[in-house]
Amino acid sequence: MTAEAVRPPPPSSTAVQLGWVAVAEALAPAECARLVTVMETALTVQAGDGGALARGRRDAGVRRADVVWLNDGPRTGWVMMRLADLAARANREHYGFALDGFDEALQLTRYPAEVAGFYDWHVDRGATGLTARRKLSISIQLSPPESYEDGALELNVDGHVVAAPRALGTAILFPSFALHRVAPVTAGVRHALVTWIHGPDFV
């Protein structure tokens, strides 16, 4: 593991916006490109790493996207460590949620313009199973903003729709009960890394 793999984001990079947190440069450009390569490879060839990757297309009225599930392992442990540190900082400074850890694999998501990739308004927290334990959501921008058009991550935490920053490597953290969507991509491809931190029910 290199020193770069565990470097923290700059102290000045955190900004709180209407209940969600943006952290600039959470991942370096080379790290974003590395994850995009992992996803694109998984979508074009059969995964052969003992089940560390699962792939598929989500194609329905509420979502059109390609998804790769990235389990913890030698190839991905570095990003799990980075996200754990990121979530711990944001939770300590802004939320104070009771959190247990990551109960689900990381998700790499691809929104291609060829199918007008999107994810309509939804919340990440479900009613049963692991989704009912989701408390803090993280979405990291893996594509350079100039490489695609539209496709904004939009959040509605308090009745106002706000588009999240889309600079490469920016992490957006928000409560998993917050309403959000990915608007349709009209040109290019948007890649994102998504995960959830789990914990006991809100009281």
* Residue 188 included in any domain: yes
Q: Which has the higher per-residue pLDDT, 160 or 52?
A: 160
Residue 33 and residue 140 in contact, taking contact as beta carbons nearer than 8 Å: no
Mean predicted lDDT score pLDDT of the chain: 84
> Residue 202 has what pLDDT?
84
Model confidence pLDDT, tens digit, residues 45-69: 543 333 334 445 555 688 999 998 8
- Per the structure, the complete domain to which residue 171 belongs is given by 21-198
* Residue 125 included in any domain: yes
Q: What is the rounded CA–CA span in Å between residue 37 and residue 40? A: 5
CB atoms inside a 10 Å sphere around CB 27: 24
Strands (E), 28-183: 53-59, 63-70, 106-112, 118-122, 134-141, 148-150, 153-156, 161-163, 171-175, 179-182
* Stretch 125-130: mean pLDDT: 92
* Residue 69 included in any domain: yes
For 189, the enclosing helix (H) or strand (E) is strand 185-198
* Residue 11 included in any domain: no
Domain count, the chain: 1
